[in-house]
Amino acid sequence: MAQPAVVDVHQHVWPERFVEALRARVRPPRLAGWTLLLTGEPPYDVAPDDHDTAKRAAREADGGADLALVSLSSPLGIEWLPPDDAAPLLDAWHRGAVELPRPFRPWAAANVLDPATTPLKDALDLGCVGLQLPADAMATPAALDHVAPLLALCEERSRPVLVHPGPAAVDASAALPGWWVPVVDYVAQLQAAWWAWHAAGRTLFPRLRICFAACAGLAPVHHERLVARGGRFSRIDPDVFVDTSSYGPRALDAVIRVLGIDPIVFGSDRPYAEPTDPDLGDAATHAIRCANPQRLLEGDSRGHAVTRAGNHPRT
């Protein structure tokens, strides 16, 4: 009997045509050689090997995932560019990423200033697995209304959505340590997106499967505070997931105590982070790396929530 596939829902690899499109730009986001220039962040020296597709594929074959879902990374800010400015970069991403070797398969990206659905339809038809959406594009319930056409298309086609941190919102001249943006900005964005979904998402999109990167910035751990301040916390939603990227055993234990094991999916955030083993046993490892990602990608024919003994419920 074949072994179940190990799925990593969150990696980043830039195909050559996307790299060249970034180098062709004269304004951020752009690449100068291998130096990444973004608005709101200091220059970042990209390691060329991180985007050597043959080396990355060999690394996964050596003990990584059987399927690795890759994205262009929303912190680049491409989804927020004026549509005519963003279009060449998005096209280069989609056309290059669908040609990546196994085990890679791409998430689509879409302009969020003008959330037209035709480019997303084309990207899904090319072979993208679903849509990566910047967390700052769904920071409030009203923001969900703005990107509703994109989310509705994914719901209609039964394609998942990955919510990933968007571009930094800090002053690039501020004297901040290098870890500030990923630890402060990105976490805050994910938490806001989680609460926007909690407030309005399921009502708007009753069948959409959605996953929040990096444990939604640990937003689920704050559900006790939600209740203390008058919010509701009722049931586990079988179609809302969080990935494990950037967090280890203590954080994952806290999230699982709130959500249970069923919504937790394996995401490494390679090459920017490496996965850690939460040491929860073989059954939990199988759920996080195999069974749960499969439900995120393909849905669950059971059509109802699965509640573990001792879990706190969640909306």
> The CATH number of the domain where 153 resides is what?
3.20.20.140
pLDDT at 308 over 80: no
Average pLDDT over residues 58-66: 85
Greater pLDDT, 239 or 302? 239
Q: β-strand 67-70 against 7-11: which pairing, if any?
A: parallel
Compute the average pLDDT of residues 90-97.
98
Q: Identify the CA nearest to 160 among candidates 270, 276, 67, 232.
A: 67
Q: Where are the beta strands (DSSP E) in 21-88?
A: 30-32, 35-37, 44-45, 67-70
Residue 12 lies in a domain: yes
d(CA 223, CA 165): 21
What total number of domains does the chain contain? 1
Average pLDDT on 16-38 reads: 96
Please, what is the average pLDDT of the chain? Answer: 90
Query: Using CA atoms, how far apart are residues 304 and 301, in angstroms rounded to an integer?
Result: 8
Q: What stretches of 5-140 adopt beta strand conformation (E)?
A: 7-11, 30-32, 35-37, 44-45, 67-70, 104-106, 131-134
In the predicted structure, residue 2 carries a pLDDT above the cut 70: no
Question: Residue 3: pLDDT above 90?
Answer: no
Note down the domain range covering 287.
7-298
Structural domain includes residue 22: yes
Higher per-residue pLDDT: 61 or 150: 150
Q: Specify if 312 maps to a domain.
A: no
Kindly state the average pLDDT of the residues 174-198. Answer: 92
3-class state of residue 137 by DSSP = helix
Tokens read off for 9: 């829902």
How do residues 226-265 score in pLDDT, each as one tens digit? 888 988 877 789 999 999 999 999 999 999 999 999 999 9
The answer to whether the predicted template modeling score (pTM) of the entire model surpasses 0.85 is yes
Residue 203 lies in a domain: yes
Please give the single-letter amino acid code of residue 278: P
| 13-22 confidence digits (pLDDT tens) | 999 999 999 9
Q: Is residue 309 part of a domain?
A: no
Whether 285 is in a domain gets the answer yes
Q: Which amino acid is located at 12 in the chain?
A: H
Distance, in Å, from the CA atom of 256 to the CA atom of 220, rounded to the nearest integer, reads: 9
Tokens 């060249």 identify what position? Answer: 20
Residue 87 reports pLDDT greater than 80: yes
**Per-residue confidence (pLDDT) for residue 173, from 0 to 100:** 64
Examine residue 248 and state whether it is found in any structural domain, yes or no: yes
Instruction: Please check whether residue 308 is in contact with residue 262, taking contact to mean a CB–CB distance below 8 angstroms.
Output: yes
Question: Given this model, what pLDDT does residue 310 score?
Answer: 30
Domain assignment present for residue 1? The answer is no
Residue 277 has what pLDDT? Answer: 78
211, containing H or E segment: strand 210-212
Rg of the chain on CA atoms, in Å = 19
